[in-house]
């Protein structure tokens, strides 16, 4: 399944789409205070496209710092690689019209990368994904120090998590409350649309995102319904892929491997799920399993 997450298609990107709000958000993430007159410019995200996906938020502070922020409700161990591709496109745009063969060094802004996670799966308050974690290291390499690296800080913004960060930003705090109320009402009724409407009503009564919800109430409903229903469909598709891969693995002779004492049942499942999480297709997994069996 392919989806096209365009700029401002989500509530998150819509809420955090002005310079003042982005400055406040960055200060909250870093635990610092920046002067209000330091300029914040938003990158043209429509031009930073990779594999039918847009980066959620990309902006610069003072022309010397570029921040990429993703909002995720599903855990994605490939996020460092995705953001690596995004930042390469952004840097490409920054030096447009200038030559890389000049005697003078090219000046590019300092990058920082964040993911704000509010999904249902268990996840720590903070975690770092590294690009180097995805590298396949040849056996003949003598160094453990990668020559290329990118680190993404993942922050859990579910209710009760990372309060010291969330409370520094009024907009982020209100967003988290709103999403938390949707989850609460959805669990009670089992009806997502009803849950969103109740959460909107609750927030309006408690002065939470009140001006935004008064102006964009119907848009918010459609945004969340579209976004969350799409995520549910993707999750269902991934579940089917996992089940098919597990069945395929057994059919390809893993029982024989167990009989020879080469691999245990839990190790088999773990290995197959790791292959899926790497984004491999069912055909590629079949190929790898066949290669292992024929060795």
In this predicted model, what pLDDT tens digit does every residue of 55-83 receive, in sequence order? 788 999 998 999 989 988 888 899 999 99
- Give how many domains the chain has, as a whole number: 1
pLDDT on residue 274:
66
- Arithmetic mean of pLDDT, 245-261: 54
SS percent in the chain: helix, strand, coil, step 5: 50, 15, 35
pLDDT band at 13 (very low <50, low <70, confident <90, very high): confident
**Quick check: is 234 in a domain?**
no
Q: Which residue has the tokens 């802004």?
A: 109
In tens, the pLDDT along 175-227 reads 999 999 999 999 999 898 999 999 999 999 999 999 999 888 888 888 888 77
**SS3 call for 181:** helix
Quick check: is 38 in a domain?
A: yes
In a domain, 211, yes or no: no
**What pLDDT sits at residue 273?**
63
Least confident range of 147-161, 179-193, 262-276? 262-276
Neighbours of 12 (CB within 10 A): 23
Cβ–Cβ under 8 Å, residues 36 and 23: yes
Q: Is 193 exposed, middle or buried (0-12, 13-18, 19+ CB in 10 A)?
A: middle
Q: Phi/psi of residue 83, each to 5°? A: -70, -30
Residue 288: inside a domain = no
In a domain, 89, yes or no: yes
Q: Say yes or no to pLDDT of 269 above 50.
A: yes
Q: Is the CB of residue 66 less than 8 Å from the CB of residue 90? A: yes
pLDDT cut 70: percent of the chain above it = 71
The residues facing 151 across adjacent strands are: 130
Is residue 87 domain-resident? yes
- pLDDT at residue 163 is higher than 50: yes
Does any domain span residue 16? Answer: yes
In a domain, 204, yes or no: no
Whether 263 has a pLDDT exceeding 50, the answer reads no
Q: Which domain holds residue 119?
A: 1-98+105-133+147-168
Write down the pLDDT at residue 105: 86
Tell me the two tokens of residue 266. Answer: 């839990």
Per the structure block, which two tokens stand in for 224?
A: 């969340």
How large is the average pLDDT for residues 85-95?
A: 87
| pLDDT at res. 49 | 42
Please say if the pLDDT value at position 236 is more than 80: no
Q: Report the pLDDT value the prediction gives residue 196, as an integer from 0 to 100.
A: 92
User: What is the pLDDT at residue 37?
Assistant: 92
| pLDDT at position 1 | 32
Q: Are 10 and 71 in contact (CB under 8 A)?
A: yes
Residues 6+ apart with CB under 8 A from 117: 72, 73, 75, 123, 154, 155, 156, 157, 158
Beta 110-117 vs 151-156: how paired, if at all?
Answer: parallel
Q: How far apart are CA 81 and CA 51, in angstroms?
A: 12
Query: Which two structure tokens, joined as six digits, stand for 87?
Result: 């930042």
Tokens of 6: 């365009």
Distance CA 291, CA 268 (A): 15
Band of residue 52 on the pLDDT scale cut at 50, 70, 90:
very low
What is the maximal distance between C-alpha atoms in the chain? 69
């Amino acid at each position: 399944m392919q989806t096209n997450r365009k700029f401002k298609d989500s509530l998150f990107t819509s809420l955090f789409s002005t310079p003042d709000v982005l400055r406040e958000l960055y200060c909250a993430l870093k635990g610092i205070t920046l002067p209000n007159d330091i300029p914040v410019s938003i990158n043209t995200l429509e031009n930073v496209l990779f594999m039918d996906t847009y980066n959620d938020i990309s902006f610069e502070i003072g022309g010397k710092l570029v921040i990429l922020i993703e909002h995720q409700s599903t855990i994605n161990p490939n996020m460092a690689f995705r953001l690596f591709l995004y930042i390469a496109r952004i840097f490409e745009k920054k030096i447009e019209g200038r030559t890389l063969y000049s005697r003078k060094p090219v000046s590019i802004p300092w990058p920082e990368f964040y993911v704000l996670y509010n999904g249902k799966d268990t996840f720590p308050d903070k975690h770092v994904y590294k690009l180097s974690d995805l590298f396949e290291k040849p056996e003949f390499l003598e160094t453990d120090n990668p020559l290329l690296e990118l680190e993404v800080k993942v922050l859990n913004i579910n209710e009760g998590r990372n309060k010291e960060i969330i409370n520094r930003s009024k907009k982020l705090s209100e967003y988290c409350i709103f999403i938390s109320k949707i989850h609460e009402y959805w669990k009670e009724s089992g009806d997502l649309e009803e849950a969103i409407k109740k959460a909107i009503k609750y927030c309006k009564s408690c002065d939470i995102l009140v001006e935004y919800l008064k102006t964009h109430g119907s848009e918010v409903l459609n945004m969340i319904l579209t976004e969350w229903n799409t995520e549910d469909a993707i999750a269902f598709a991934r579940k089917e892929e996992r089940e098919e891969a597990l069945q395929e693995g057994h059919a390809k002779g893993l029982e024989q491997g167990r009989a020879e004492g080469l691999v245990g049942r839990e190790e088999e499942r773990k290995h197959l799920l790791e292959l899926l999480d790497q984004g491999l297709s069912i055909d590629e997994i079949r190929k790898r399993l066949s290669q292992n069996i024929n060795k």
